[in-house]
Every structure is written in structure tokens, then in C-alpha cells.
Amino acid sequence: MAAMNPAAAVVWVILLGLPIGFAFLALSRLSSPPAATGGDLDTNEQRGPRS
């Protein structure tokens, strides 16, 4: 395991990071209640800051 070439290490990091990233993105989207107003990203880009 320690004698792994860099290319294989990069491939493993990408393959393991994709599901983790998608799970984190799905959890962050599900745990945000303002999604009922039509989506956080779209409304924030259109309206700007809420303050």
C-alpha cells in the first residue's frame, strides 16, 4: 500500500472523493429549509445578499 504510484493514488482519491462529495452536497441541500421557496442558489443569485 505504501509503494503505490502517484497516478493510482490520484485515481483512488477521485473515486473515493466523488461519492463523499455527492453525499455531502445532498445532505447540505436537504438540511437547508429555505429550499421550499424555490431553491437557495437561484434565489440568492437573483436577489443578492439578504441583509
Residue 19 in domain: yes
Question: For residue 22, what are the domain limits?
Answer: 6-46
Residue 1 in domain: no
* Strands annotated E in the chain: none
Contacts of 43 (CB under 8 A, 6+ apart): 34, 37
Residue 51 in domain: no
pLDDT in tens, 4-50: 799 999 999 999 999 999 999 888 887 766 545 555 555 555 555 55
SS3 state of residue 5: coil
CA–CA separation, 45 and 11 (whole Å): 34
The domain total for the chain is 1
| C-beta of residue 25 within 8 angstroms of C-beta of residue 31 | no
Please give the model's pTM, rounded to 2 decimal places: 0.39
